[in-house]
Amino acid sequence: MDEIKIKGRAKVNLSLDVLRRKEDGYHEVKMIMHQVDLYDEILLKNIEQGILLETNCEYIPINEGNIAYKAAKLMMDEFGIKKGIQIYIDKKIPVAAGLAGGSTDAAAVMMGLNKLWKIGATKEELMKLSVELGADVPFCILGGAALAEGIGERLTPIEGINEWIVLCKPNISVSTASVYKNLDVNKIEKHPDTDQILMALENKNLQIVLENLCNVLEPVTERMHPIVRDIKRKMIEYHALGSLMSGSGPTVFGIYKDYNKAKSAYENLSKVYNQVYLVKTYDGRGFNDYQ
């Protein structure tokens, strides 16, 4: 096998809580992450030596500044691989959007190379190794839905939801670092009831999940970019059962049970915003990730 294609899926946060700022500058979090079926496609091809990265997206670097490049380098160094790899990223997930678009590409590269090069590392081993790349990468390797703790690397698989999701990213990019810099942990007005959401997911009680959607970074990003609040308002106006900003933003998602209402919301939002997507939640059990 000389090449492999793999999907790297986006995620949303059903909750995001920041518990404290650690001495090393990282923040301790407690959040519920859920993959959705919006994905980048990553094609990996063996070459003689080096790492050659190409993409259809002009906004992302094609050198060691790209987390997918770093992922390939990490796999080579960790497992003593002497051959090279050509990486092509067909980017569909918006960039700097709060959807883990970079992290999921890195995760896909690690999983794809593990298979392509017949390394035989377990998912757990890859997750542990991937923490070096970023806090969201282990979740993107795990997939499905999970409770994330620590800096995001301590993961517990959980029951997810099976609903339609409308994603809307305004034409701005948000720096995660700047959002966390502007967050005063001691002045967070409302923390999510994560345990309540977990219980509701376990009991398949969507209504309780919807009532408890909460992201402590949302007010911070809203102050910097009021458009986030406007999109949330529109999601509800377009019959979303619940709406929340994902990650540090600026992407806002709405949850829908009814496909026709979701489609109508998608069509209305698409008249105003360029990056709008209608997708399903993803439970991590797909068999079509590799081609």
Which amino acid is residue 22, in one-letter code? Answer: K
Cβ-Cβ contacts under 8 Å for 55 (sequence gap 6 or more)? 62, 88, 89, 90, 91
End-to-end CA gap in the chain: 11
**Could you tell me which of 249, 260, 242, 195 has the C-alpha nearest to residue 222?**
249
Q: Is 136 a catalytic residue?
A: yes
**Residue 241 DSSP label:** S
105/44 Cα distance (integer angstroms) = 12
From 7, 11, 30, 91, active-site residue: 11
Asked if 71 and 106 touch (Cβ cutoff 8 Å), the reply is: yes
Q: Mapping DSSP to helix (H, G, I), strand (E, B) and coil, where does residue 67 land?
A: helix
Q: Is 7 a catalytic residue?
A: no
From 136, 169, 232, 234, active-site residue: 136
Whose tokens are 């518990």? That residue is 19
Q: Which residues are catalytic?
A: 11, 136
